[in-house]
Structure 1
Amino acid sequence: MCARNAETVVEDYYEALRQGDQLSVYFAPDDSLVKFGISEQLTGYEEVAEGLREQTCHSKEWRITSHDLRVTERDDYAWFSDTVDMAWTDTTTGIRRSFSSRWSGTLENQDGWKFVAMHVSAPHTL
């Protein structure tokens, strides 16, 4: 992962997810790190890394389609938001999952941009 700016890191993360590559390298090794997924909350680097390893082991055929990526950088911090169509196959059940989702997060430049917070959610429709 050799990214020049925060936007490239977000795009590289999407591609790593599609390819089934290691994802924890995109996150800051920090106990205050937090990652919210559609069905979980992970706190601290070790918990996030383990959650991402489990996710990679139990999913395949990821489709990530970004629709409105917006990234802002200020000195050593950046934040992003996006609307993303996402889908994958659960390797445990064989079920194909898909969501129209919202992504947001914060990155810090620690000798390269790393996520310090990420939130992925699916809007609830009535």
Structure 2
Amino acid sequence: MTVAATIEAYYDALRAGDPLAPFFLDSPDAAKFGLSERLDGHDAIADGLRDQTETTREWVVESSDLVTGQQDDTAWFADSVFMGWTDVERGIRFEFDTRWSGTLVRVDDESSEPDESDGSAPHDWRFAAMHVSTTEAL
């Protein structure tokens, strides 16, 4: 899977309410910055994303400017994303124009077949770091 396809799959999973933690590197050094939180380490990221999935619905994620780069087993990205969701606990709809950036690392997955889309060797990309911010006041 390409870096861009991995990011798009993450957006799809977010929209669908699917688990998001598998997209992150299983490392205590992984980091995720959201609009109002900082999560350090895979366990904290997994807990935070699980809570987010349980308490939000009706996600809209519209990418408008995804750029990616790659060198060997490291990749990076930046994107402009309109996103919105409903907080089911508070009954509030949130919508923001956001900026996303991050770093991904390639993780070998010997159990996978070669990627049919590009014929690459079996591997998956995982986010080592992700940062989401907005210019709007929270």
Q: Specify if TM > 0.5.
A: yes
Aligned pair count reads 122
Which of 43, 46, 50 pairs up with 2:43?
46
Counterpart Cα distance in 2 of 1:8 and 1:124: 28
Does 1:70 find its partner at 2:54?
no
Q: TM-score, normalised by structure 2?
A: 0.87
- The residue type equivalent to 1:39 in the other structure is S
Runs of 4+ in 1 over 2 A off after TM superposition: none
- The residue type equivalent to 2:2 in the other structure is N
Unpaired segments ≥5 residues, structure 2: 109-123
- The residue type equivalent to 2:47 in the other structure is E
Unpaired segments ≥5 residues, structure 1: none
> What is the identity percentage for the equivalent residue pairs of Structure 1 and Structure 2?
47
Match of 1:16 in 2: 13
Q: TM-score, normalised by structure 1?
A: 0.95
Structure of higher CA gyration radius:
2
Residues 23-80 of structure 1 deviation map (CA, whole Å, 9 limit, x = unaligned)? 0000000010000000000000000000000000000000000010001111101000
CA RMSD across the alignment: 0.9
Deviation at residue 82 of structure 1 after TM alignment: 0.3
Does 1:95 find its partner at 2:99?
no
Counterpart Cα distance in 2 of 1:60 and 1:82: 22
**Correspondence 1:22-33 to 2 at 5 A:** 22-33=19-30
